[in-house]
Structure 1
Amino acid sequence: MISVKVTYTVKPGFAATNKHNIQQFMKDFKTLGNDFRYTVFEGADGKTFTHLSQYKNEMIQKKLLETPSFKSFQQQRDDSGLERQPQIEFLTTVGSSHDIF
């Protein structure tokens, strides 16, 4: 299993667009099966976003990362002039209250 946490901060004027773009790729992700979990959180400042993802394997991770709506989201986010660049952390699962996969 692969677990990843990505945190970044957009400029205040881009936050609404970022949320819209997240909803667009989430619609597509919902059609791709159950071999992953992907959740996005908005921080209290309204401009910091944290993406938590868990993938059963590298194959499903690659499939999601190549989804056109996700690639568009990333491009628009990066082109918006971020206040803080994405910080990527790979996490190791220690325990869970439920079966993940």
Structure 2
Amino acid sequence: MISVIVSYRIKPEFIEKNKENIQIFLKDFEQLDTSKFKYSVFVKEDGVSFVHYSQYADENMQNELLNVPSFKAFQEMRDASGLDGSHKVEILHSVGTKGNLG
């Protein structure tokens, strides 16, 4: 399994558009085999810091998801909005998990 956290801060004037773009690609993700990935997006209390947490069954599923056109468009618009250098991608290695909270 592949687990990734992506975090970034955006300008306040881009918050609503960023949220709209996220909803668009999440809806498109419904067309994929949802038994092979989990993708969650959070906004921190400051309102401008976003965290995307994703898990993929394998590299093929990760590549398929990352190439969804609306997701690529989201990334382009997010990057063009003027990120402040906070964009960070982290690969996680599982140590263990308990529970099944949906």
TM, length-normalised to structure 2: 0.92
Percent identical residues: 49
What's 2:20 paired with? Answer: 20
Aligned ranges for residues 7-86 of structure 1 at < 5 Å? 7-33=7-33, 34-86=35-87
How many Å apart are 1:84 and its aligned residue? 3.5
Distance in 1 (CA, whole Å) between partners of 2:36 and 2:99 is: 15
How many Å apart are 1:98 and its aligned residue? 4.3
Distance in 2 (CA, whole Å) between partners of 1:46 and 1:53 is: 20
- Which consecutive unaligned segments of at least 5 residues does structure 2 have? none
Aligned residues: 99
State the one-letter code of the partner of 2:28: D
TM, length-normalised to structure 1: 0.93
1:13-65 Cα distance to aligned partner (Å, 9 max, x none): 00110000000000011221110000000010111000000000000000000
* Secondary structure class of the residue paired with 2:87: strand
Distance in 2 (CA, whole Å) between partners of 1:59 and 1:98 is: 26
What's 1:94 paired with? Answer: 95
Which of structure 1's runs of 4+ aligned residues deviate more than 2 A? none
- Which consecutive unaligned segments of at least 5 residues does structure 1 have? none
State the one-letter code of the partner of 1:18: N
Q: CA RMSD in A?
A: 1.1
Distance in 1 (CA, whole Å) between partners of 2:78 and 2:25 is: 13
